Structure 1
Amino acid sequence: MTRLRLGLRTRVVAGFAAGALTLSASMALVSYEVTRSELISGRERAAVRSATFDARVVAAGLNTDRPDIGGMLRTLDTGGNRRVLVFHLGHWYSRSADTGAATAVPQSLQRLVGQRGQGIQRTRVDGEPAVIVGILLTPATALYEIDYLRELDQTLRTIGWVLVLVASVVAAAGAGLGWYATRYVLRPLRSVAAAAQGITAGDLTARLDPATDPDLQPLSASFNEMVDQLSRRIERDRRFAADVSHELRSPLQTLAASASVLERRRDRLDERTAMAAGLVVAELARFQSLVDDLLELARGDLPAQLEPVDAGELARRAVQRRGLDPAIVDAPGPEAESPRWTVDPRRIEQVLVNLLDNAVTHGGGPVAVRVETAGADGVIEVDDDGPGVSAADREVIFDRFVRGRSAGARGNDTGTGLGLSLVAQHVAAHGGRVRVLDRPGGGARFRIELPGVR
């Protein structure tokens, strides 16, 4: 089971939202409980005062010879929210005929009033919340006043929903604050990422401004020092490779001239000597190709020199350099609107030449070269007619001095192992990527994707 990994911004925003929700919910709960307690306590005190007043009126009416309890209850001003019951000599009395009077007052409250002379209890009467106050008038008579809490219950519900809404708004505000905070905090990291991407693309001049944020000055200084050291190291390696390759060219040219003499006189040599001369010529040609590739690698770390070029004409020129049939190029001709790309023409032409050489050497020859655009991106595809590239080789085939395990099956094994590495390096200098796919019908397809060339 794959564990979901959340990004830093998502975690920070979620943390802010959770913290704000927890704090607001706690405050809302405390506020609700305090408000509820105060409102109910105030309502109970008011109910006790009303019941005490009504008890005095009823008690005064009981001092007559023939007390009319029902009449006395009807004289009480109870409004529409209170209900008065009297238990006298084992009978219940109310303002009107009330069949539920006996069950309206809980037995526990009746026992409490009988023991202490007064009591109060919150309960539900007829499905509605209410508070009942009981007062003992005589040993055989008790008054019970039911105060319904409909309005108070509705008020508490409204307060509860308001507090829930406030908690939700505070949580959303916390998430917004977290998003803003992460945007501010991650801004330096985006600068670091942008600088790192520029360095990856070959721009070794990318640096961070130490004055942007004093708290990040050590990071900026360390990053800039790292880039300076990397730049110096790459420059030393580049100069070393260039110097070695340059120094090798002079004796190599002398050897090549001497070998060409032997090659022209092979028909005058005996069989073994002629074979040795042929091997020398072939290895010198391979050595010359290796030196040229090393020189190209030494220059490959420099930034791309971008300029608008005719992509179709660039492909046709590369095909002609290798003496191949121009008909394999699938791109708009001079009479059509040929795509113009902003690229480094030297690098892209070298990419095409190396892919064509790879197809000739290992893939049975190129069969198609397509140049097309996809929005603002450019796409180049080179198809060959070989056995293809195995899935195990597709990742390592672009490494330096690596020839795939299927190279023998794809043709001879005389390459330097640098051609496809140069392709990947030149494509990376444009911020693009190169992939190996299966060509429909057999063979390999090398696909190059160059972003933002139009």
Structure 2
Amino acid sequence: MRPIGLRTRVSAAFALGALILSACISLVSYESVRNTLFAERERTAVRATYYDAAVVNAGIAGPAPDVLEVLRALDTGSDRYVLLHRDGRWHSRSADPAVDTAVPSGLQEMTAGGQPAAQRIRRDGRPVLIVGVPLADEAVFYEIISLAELERTLRTLALVLTAVAIMVAAAGAAIGWYVTRHALRPLTTVAVAARGIAGGDLTTRLDPDTEPDLAPLSVAFNEMADQLTRRLQRDRRFAADVSHELRSPLQTLEAAASVLEKRRDRLDERSAAAVTLVAAEVARFQALVNDLLELARTDQPAHREPVDVPALAQRVCRSRNLPADLVETADGTPETWSVDRRRVEQALGNLIDNAIRYGGGPVAVRVGPGYLEVDDAGPGVAGPDRASIFDRFVRGPAANSRGDSDGTGLGLAIVAGHAAAHGGTATVTERPGGGARFRLTLPGHQT
């Protein structure tokens, strides 16, 4: 499972904190508003009920009062429902068969004892407030006030507060993302610089004054880059010096081996075999020294000049006894490129030699806009080996399985070095239909 990034974690923490804070504020605000609205609604309902109760009490004071007419005279509107319990009977302004069960028994007991009371209940699925006021002659007046409008108001308030909490959480996430982006920008700069050094740009350095808090890291990074540059320069200089010093004795050995090779027919069988082995090893040693010298020069800048790359590719194929029509030129590819002729010729030659030696021979040499490709008919390169096959002295599985000792293990490393000198890369992928496809990219090739 891929770990969650620091920026995502910080943004999530900001969002969660904002959500919790806004939820707490919204909950407190909702409860405060809800209690205030209910308290105000109850006070208003109680005052109205007492006023109506006084009117009803005056209307039923005489002999044989018309209770229904008294109740109908009340101005209750559409959100209030009135009841009167008198002489053991329930009276209302409409024929309601459930009038005797509209008032909870607990509330009836309290008002029957002469004590005013109020209670919130749900009637027919809707919230109501029942206020009971005792009257003369043991009569009790009740008003049932609908709280549906208040409940709708509170529901709307809850939706608004929820939306606000969500928006605050989203804003917290955005702030967290923004803060971490700016906080991690210096680290991003360090990462870019590290990738530049890994890509071969050893001149990459960090400015300690850009971010004072990361000045020690910048100084340490620059010191590391300086030490790495000096070490690489020493290694390259050592390889170049050793290779140069070996050339003179190698030439002497090569001349001596050539003399012995010419007199091979005069030697016995064992001596002749030894002479052949010595000549082969001297030739291989000479190739290794030449490759080391070439590899030591790959860090030098490319000397760009106009080059007809398709013609160069055909010439490289003919020099290896391959047909010139093996070269394919993609549409839109310019003939003249601004590249280092010697480096491109050697890099392409190394790729073709690698295909001949280990890949069953090249099946196509492709020239496209800014790249060269060599396809072979070999077993291909496994995925885990593709990242290291361009390293020095690395031999692919095909070379090991064949026991081939002709190669120096530096051919593909030289290809990668020449590509880097042009600001490009050398890669290998699987060829459709089997085999390997080596690609050499050369950015900035247009003339």
Separation in 2 of the partners of 1:331 and 1:447? 16
- Aligned-residue offset at 1:439: 6.3
Q: Kindly tell me: are residues 219 and 59 of structure 1, through their superposed partners in 2, closer, same or farther at Cα, counting changes over 3 Å?
A: same
Separation in 2 of the partners of 1:119 and 1:308? 103
Separation in 2 of the partners of 1:309 and 1:31? 77
1:434 corresponds to: 427
**1:187-336 → structure 2 map (5 Å cutoff):** 187-301=185-299, 309-331=307-329
Q: Deviations over 1:194-240 (max 9, x none)?
A: 11121111111111121222222122122111111111111111111
Structure 2 counterpart of 1:15, one-letter code: A
1:447 corresponds to: 438
Q: Deviations over 1:345-390 (max 9, x none)?
A: 54443322212222233334333212224xxxx4433233455556
Separation in 2 of the partners of 1:175 and 1:306? 50
Secondary structure of the residue that 1:10 maps to in structure 2? helix
Q: Tell me, yes or no, if the aligned pair for 2:415 and 2:426 is still in contact at 8 Å.
A: no
Q: Tell me, yes or no, if the aligned pair for 1:386 and 1:410 is still in contact at 8 Å.
A: no
Secondary structure of the residue that 1:122 maps to in structure 2? strand
Q: Kindly tell me: are residues 47 and 439 of structure 1, through their superposed partners in 2, closer, same or farther at Cα, counting changes over 3 Å?
A: closer
Match of 2:406 among 382, 401, 414: 414
Structure 1 counterpart of 2:185, one-letter code: R
2:168 corresponds to: 170
Separation in 2 of the partners of 1:310 and 1:432? 20
Gaps of at least 5 residues in structure 1 are none
Structure 2 length as normaliser, TM-score?
0.88
1:158 corresponds to: 156
Separation in 2 of the partners of 1:191 and 1:391? 30
- Aligned-residue offset at 1:21: 2.1
- Aligned-residue offset at 1:246: 1.5
Count of paired positions: 444
1:149 corresponds to: 147
1:367 corresponds to: 363
Match of 1:358 among 354, 357, 361: 354
Secondary structure of the residue that 2:65 maps to in structure 1? coil
Q: Tell me, yes or no, if the aligned pair for 2:424 and 2:443 is still in contact at 8 Å.
A: no
Q: Kindly tell me: are residues 311 and 107 of structure 1, through their superposed partners in 2, closer, same or farther at Cα, counting changes over 3 Å?
A: farther
Separation in 1 of the partners of 2:113 and 2:443? 92
Structure 2 counterpart of 1:354, one-letter code: N
Q: Deviations over 1:105-142 (max 9, x none)?
A: 12222123234611111112233211111122246311
Q: Kindly tell me: are residues 199 and 357 of structure 1, through their superposed partners in 2, closer, same or farther at Cα, counting changes over 3 Å?
A: same
Secondary structure of the residue that 2:62 maps to in structure 1? coil
The Cα RMSD (Å) is 2.9
**1:27-42 → structure 2 map (5 Å cutoff):** 27-42=25-40
- Aligned-residue offset at 1:409: 4.6
Q: Deviations over 1:223-265 (max 9, x none)?
A: 1111111111111111111111111112212222332333334
Separation in 1 of the partners of 2:267 and 2:363? 40
**1:356-395 → structure 2 map (5 Å cutoff):** 356-373=352-369, 378-386=370-378
Secondary structure of the residue that 1:227 maps to in structure 2? helix
- Aligned-residue offset at 1:101: 1.9
Q: Tell me, yes or no, if the aligned pair for 1:339 and 1:372 is still in contact at 8 Å.
A: no
Q: Kindly tell me: are residues 181 and 438 of structure 1, through their superposed partners in 2, closer, same or farther at Cα, counting changes over 3 Å?
A: same
Percent of residue pairs identical: 56
- Aligned-residue offset at 1:173: 1.6
- Aligned-residue offset at 1:343: 5.6
Secondary structure of the residue that 1:300 maps to in structure 2? coil
Q: Tell me, yes or no, if the aligned pair for 2:330 and 2:366 is still in contact at 8 Å.
A: no
Separation in 2 of the partners of 1:344 and 1:54? 105
Q: Tell me, yes or no, if the aligned pair for 2:386 and 2:427 is still in contact at 8 Å.
A: no
Structure 1 position 86 matched with structure 2 position 79: no
Q: Kindly tell me: are residues 110 and 311 of structure 1, through their superposed partners in 2, closer, same or farther at Cα, counting changes over 3 Å?
A: farther
- Aligned-residue offset at 1:183: 2.2
- Aligned-residue offset at 1:431: 4.9
More divergent stretch after superposition (196-205 vs 360-369) = 360-369
Secondary structure of the residue that 1:180 maps to in structure 2? helix
Gaps of at least 5 residues in structure 2 are none
Structure 1 counterpart of 2:298, one-letter code: G
- Aligned-residue offset at 1:404: 3.5
Structure 2 counterpart of 1:366, one-letter code: P
Separation in 2 of the partners of 1:342 and 1:194? 28
Q: Kindly tell me: are residues 347 and 123 of structure 1, through their superposed partners in 2, closer, same or farther at Cα, counting changes over 3 Å?
A: farther
More divergent stretch after superposition (34-43 vs 391-400) = 391-400
Q: Tell me, yes or no, if the aligned pair for 1:202 and 1:303 is still in contact at 8 Å.
A: no
Structure 1 length as normaliser, TM-score?
0.87
Match of 2:4 among 6, 9, 12: 6
Q: Deviations over 1:148-200 (max 9, x none)?
A: 11221221122122212222222222222122222212221221121112111
Q: Kindly tell me: are residues 116 and 310 of structure 1, through their superposed partners in 2, closer, same or farther at Cα, counting changes over 3 Å?
A: farther
